[in-house]
Structure 1
Amino acid sequence: MPSIMKLVAAALAVAPLAAAQTYSNCNPTKKTCPANPGSTESDLKFDFTQPSGLDKWTTTAGKVNTGSNGAEFTINKKGDAPTIQTDFYFFYGEITVEMKTAPGQGIVSSIVLESDDLDEVDWEGIGGNNGQIETNYFGKGDTTTYDRDTWPAVATPQNTFHKYTVNWSKESLVWSIDGNVVRTLNYADAQGGSRFPQTPMNLRIGIWAGGDSSNGQGTIDWAGGVTDYSAAPFSMYIKSVEIKNANPAESYTWSDMSGSSDSIKFTGSNAVSARSTTTTAAPTSVTEASPAQTSSAEASTTEASSTPTTLVTSTQSSSASSGTGSSTAASTGASSSGASSSGVSGSSSSAGATQTGSGAGSGSSSSGSGSSGTSTQTGSGSSTSASASASSSPAFNAASNVAASYMGPVSILALVATFFQL
């Protein structure tokens, strides 16, 4: 009888490999989950030119080194997808990432804010496009449409460091490049707020090959074409990160399964005494807040959300709806958002999320967004409507993640097949 470890190893060898950045180990809208670890600091700064800059970050896939250009995220071969994420969550505030995106056809450089119930906010640079960058958002794991992206202009992002900022409050999301606003999404424009990101986030940064040949055609088209690994290495650099947390706390507890901002409770001895809905931190208090939720049965569970967001790279259908690159939802008032996008790998593995522990894979899906009914400004400051599509925008608006749901069955079949072979 072959050993179980031998079977598992064989199954992983034949199953589709995926890189996962947008996943949830426990979705609080589906079940009781542990509290999110927070930070009692309202302003956190990370200098990635120094090794100490990676303190409070977890490398979830690959290897990330620091140097004079900052943290280096490099794809040398098929399956590489180096990724880091904060080991804490924050709740409203502002993040600024100083980034130089990677060149290379099909290579995607990603900055992703992600919550456990799959609220998401993105910046994504496409290696074949050295004049634009994508903005994106999703809410509650809804991937029914891919029409929420915009593609503001940015000068040579693969050759120049730029500061990419997301200002996140209860009322709006504002994307800025080097201090210039390029997009604003108001709460009501995301399906009346039901798909507006509004739960504690952590920050995930990484690089992946959306153009890997094993990906679905939709993902490859969105990423700009098939990746030629003979042209590697492809490197993205992050020089610094600043996170302003409007609601410092030791942890954030989900008091119910609504996924609304008002359901989030602050816990710990340093929890804020007054909730802040803006990007300015509320004053701190030493008053003990309510205890964090714990569940001995659930706390150790790494079950993924029932709405998986990881793209199974070799089984994705190419029938996902195509978009024009920029938002088309302005005329409808609000678009349905989805769980996304970009994918670099996470450290946990589960049947729903299907990301590999090693980060091997060719990239998870990068999805489109689009700020319904809002205005967008180009990097030069000129205002355009959110539905305007730049001529050089990718023809496909991010690949569907629905294929991720097939990862579990495929892995099981692979185990059974291998068992009989062995």
Structure 2
Amino acid sequence: MPSILKLATAALAVAAPLVSAQTYSDCNPLKQSNCPADKGSTESTLHFDFTQESALDQWKTTAGKVNTGSDGAEFTLAKKGDAPTIRSNFYIWYGEISVEMKSAPGTGVVSSIVLESDTLDEVDWEALGGNNAQVETNYFGKGDTTTYDRDTWPNVATPHDTFHTYTVKWTKDHIIWSIDGNDVRTLNKADAQGGTRFPQTPMDIRIGIWAGGDSGNGQGTIDWAGGETDYSQAPFSMYIKSVTIKNDNPAESYSYNGNSGNDDSIKVNGAGVTARSTSTSSTVPATTSTEAASSTEASTAPTTLATTTQGSSTAQSTEASSTGSSSEASGAASSSGASPSSSGAAGSSSESGSGSSSGSSSETGSSSSGSSSGSSTAGSGASSSSASASASSSPAFNAASSLGATYLGPVSFLGLITAMLQL
């Protein structure tokens, strides 16, 4: 089933007054040219301690009201139509995002952590208020909502009652979801339709709560959310204690070159690497070995990725990326901000993990049973993409063969002339 944010297009028309947009694009580079550059951050490490109100300074409240307190930022659904949501005012491009969350109880109530790009690439964590034993992982590429078969449901102990740290490790080659430092799912780029549906463009972070079980939503959305929400049991609250972000490509901004939506079309503008914590606390969560590697990569990755263009054979030889053109329409990209659910990728998913993910898979990850009931009206996004996950067409430069052709050829010819004169 779709994750929180891009379910039925038809249902969205009804739900529009009730929910906050979390997945939408103001300007989709797949369909529009000259989209404005996305604001980045020149900091490679950011930590937001939401027990402090100042931590919200780099986040925009896009719906409702979000207060801070001893349990962090509080997102409360008190009545029909509530959907408090915040959105980072910066994008990142590859890296690691860790969110310390206690999800909300309540049938049909959805607590969500979403990474979203202008091309509607998406990576999700979602917790349902009627399920206190599992959470959902999901991903989507290029706004493609032709299928909803990419979700998995790993086990987690009492997420409504306990803070857990939900992490996404996102590189150009794979995505890893982990809970409290334990990996629960791995998606390799090649397994997302040969890379054509692999999230690969700069994303911002959106966190919020909404009623998937609202009676005004489509039946598919209500079923996925676990049933109709009983507002007489409200309020329902989700808490975010902290967010820690490692950005592999710190930059002042990111821009798109062309309409492919592939990572080799991204230009990094004003890249720089610094480290700063926005927390007023004197301590920042301990860095794991994976985070340390990500931070180390940040000092070198920007140059490699930023210089990757169709004409740069040296840079492209270091980055295998999809260069084919995509003909997909985008799915539920609504500038009106009404979409409560998530876009899906077309075709069969090559993942494993039991959950409700249906396609064949080479993906690892622990996921328990969970049901997915995607709505048939959930967005267009049919795709006939011819893109491949191979490296760019520019051949790698072979110094040895070039040296032989340049120098050894003439030397051999001179040797032959000398031998003939001696005869």
TM-score, length-scaled by structure 2: 0.69
Alpha-carbon distance between aligned partners in 2 of 1:377 and 1:92, rounded to the nearest angstrom: 27
Deviations 1:210-238 (A, max 9, x none): 00000000000000000000100000000
2:41 touches 2:253 (CA, 8 Å); kept in 1?
yes
The code of the aligned residue for 1:390 comes to S
Alpha-carbon distance between aligned partners in 2 of 1:57 and 1:134, rounded to the nearest angstrom: 24
Alpha-carbon distance between aligned partners in 2 of 1:252 and 1:283, rounded to the nearest angstrom: 17
* Match of residue 341 from structure 2: 365
The code of the aligned residue for 2:340 comes to S
Alpha-carbon distance between aligned partners in 2 of 1:22 and 1:114, rounded to the nearest angstrom: 7
SS at match of 1:129: coil
Structure 1, unpaired ranges of 5+: 1-12, 273-277, 291-304, 311-351, 357-362, 379-383, 405-422
Mapping of 1:93-108 within 5 angstroms? Answer: 93-108=95-110
Deviations 1:150-193 (A, max 9, x none): 00000000000000000000000000000000000000000000
* Match of residue 330 from structure 2: 307
Alpha-carbon distance between aligned partners in 2 of 1:385 and 1:98, rounded to the nearest angstrom: 25
* Match of residue 396 from structure 2: none
Identity across matched positions, percent: 65
Correspondence 1:354 to 2:344 = no
Deviation of 1:364 after TM superposition, in Å, equals 1.3
**Partner of residue 279 from structure 1, selected from 294, 308, 313:** 294
Alpha-carbon distance between aligned partners in 2 of 1:377 and 1:270, rounded to the nearest angstrom: 41
Deviations 1:119-173 (A, max 9, x none): 0000000000000000000000100000000000000000000000000000000
Deviation of 1:205 after TM superposition, in Å, equals 0.2
* Match of residue 57 from structure 1: 59
Mapping of 1:41-80 within 5 angstroms? Answer: 41-80=43-82
Correspondence 1:394 to 2:371 = yes
1:371 touches 1:386 (CA, 8 Å); kept in 2?
no
1:365 touches 1:400 (CA, 8 Å); kept in 2?
no
Deviation of 1:41 after TM superposition, in Å, equals 0.3
Alpha-carbon distance between aligned partners in 2 of 1:285 and 1:81, rounded to the nearest angstrom: 37
C-alpha spacing 1:233/1:399, structure 2 compared with 1 (3 Å): farther
2:51 touches 2:69 (CA, 8 Å); kept in 1?
yes
**Partner of residue 151 from structure 1, selected from 150, 153, 162:** 153
SS at match of 2:294: coil
2:145 touches 2:331 (CA, 8 Å); kept in 1?
no
2:40 touches 2:253 (CA, 8 Å); kept in 1?
yes
Deviation of 1:353 after TM superposition, in Å, equals 3.2
CA RMSD between the two structures: 3.2
Deviations 1:52-75 (A, max 9, x none): 111211100000000000000000
Alpha-carbon distance between aligned partners in 2 of 1:395 and 1:41, rounded to the nearest angstrom: 38
TM-score, length-scaled by structure 1: 0.69
Mapping of 1:119-198 within 5 angstroms? Answer: 119-198=121-200
* Match of residue 21 from structure 1: 22
Correspondence 1:116 to 2:118 = yes
Alpha-carbon distance between aligned partners in 2 of 1:128 and 1:14, rounded to the nearest angstrom: 23
SS at match of 1:104: coil
C-alpha spacing 1:165/1:400, structure 2 compared with 1 (3 Å): farther
SS at match of 2:43: coil
C-alpha spacing 1:399/1:389, structure 2 compared with 1 (3 Å): farther
The code of the aligned residue for 1:221 comes to D
Deviation of 1:253 after TM superposition, in Å, equals 1.2
Structure 2, unpaired ranges of 5+: 1-12, 275-292, 308-327, 356-361, 382-423
C-alpha spacing 1:364/1:403, structure 2 compared with 1 (3 Å): farther
Alpha-carbon distance between aligned partners in 2 of 1:286 and 1:42, rounded to the nearest angstrom: 11
Deviation of 1:385 after TM superposition, in Å, equals 7.3
Alpha-carbon distance between aligned partners in 2 of 1:78 and 1:243, rounded to the nearest angstrom: 33
1:99 touches 1:163 (CA, 8 Å); kept in 2?
yes
Alpha-carbon distance between aligned partners in 1 of 2:144 and 2:351, rounded to the nearest angstrom: 20
1:150 touches 1:371 (CA, 8 Å); kept in 2?
no
C-alpha spacing 1:254/1:136, structure 2 compared with 1 (3 Å): same
